[in-house]
Structure 1
């Protein structure tokens, strides 16, 4: 996976051939195909690993803000997601993997849903403490919106500045606090 990610990032998102990946990893084709059903399975595994890393980082940032209250926790979590577009190396790697996953890896969209669901689970408690009428729904909406903003910034290669991040976070916090329209 590391060799595949490195080749994707070096190639500006071009899809490396399996032969290039196995050569860079120092493996045989047989070893590659024992681990992965093909290149799409490798891309899906890299996407899933990246999603787990994002969730782990968000969890860490929320935990660090635990003593500062639910707004600080949610702010920290949302900003941690956006960091993927703000950090040049992370953005390069994430863009390369997303370019390889778009349309090519049939289950990569499932990873995106799993990412939003995992983030929503992390955001639900602070959302509840902020008074969200339906904390999980509010958390899922905030998670989906921050992932969509991240993807926008990655695909446009824009680096969000502090003002853009603050606008997004403030907007999402206001949405979390909005009354539940079903009540």
Structure 2
């Protein structure tokens, strides 16, 4: 069976490893990545293929049929390479893991017993499932519902983690006070 994880939002380190699927111990045939690849500086997307898929393609036509308007854009590729180099050279994944744990701990400390906050879930600095705010409990139709998205930069430090939690707390408390 061919596994193709969609790591457009969580790939390239957001969860504390280059790919979230690595943490589950699964081997993907193809991986779709995008946002983290350009780090917000340059739009880019990519599909990574395993050696087995590569060998299969080579044994067949030898051609990976795909394409979009801006395929192989030199500036986008240069930006992606620079982002990848910075992640490695600055050991940003270690910071993502450490600050992600701190952020979750501080969120649980601040909101763990909050009557209007449900489950606080995270992995690294990925808080997509994040704060489930009652009574809606999430987004049912993709547009309506109460939810929050926290996605701080990989270079965040503890003072900014505290600032995020303080400002989020003030915003939630202020909105509930009416």
- Asked whether the two chains share a fold, i.e. TM above 0.5, the reply is no
Greater strand content: 2
- State the TM-score, normalizing by the size of structure 2: 0.32
In our comparison, the structure showing a higher alpha carbon Rg is 2
- State the TM-score, normalizing by the size of structure 1: 0.31
With a CA cutoff of 8 Å and minimum separation of 6, indicate the structure with the bigger relative contact order.
Answer: 1
Greater helix content: 1
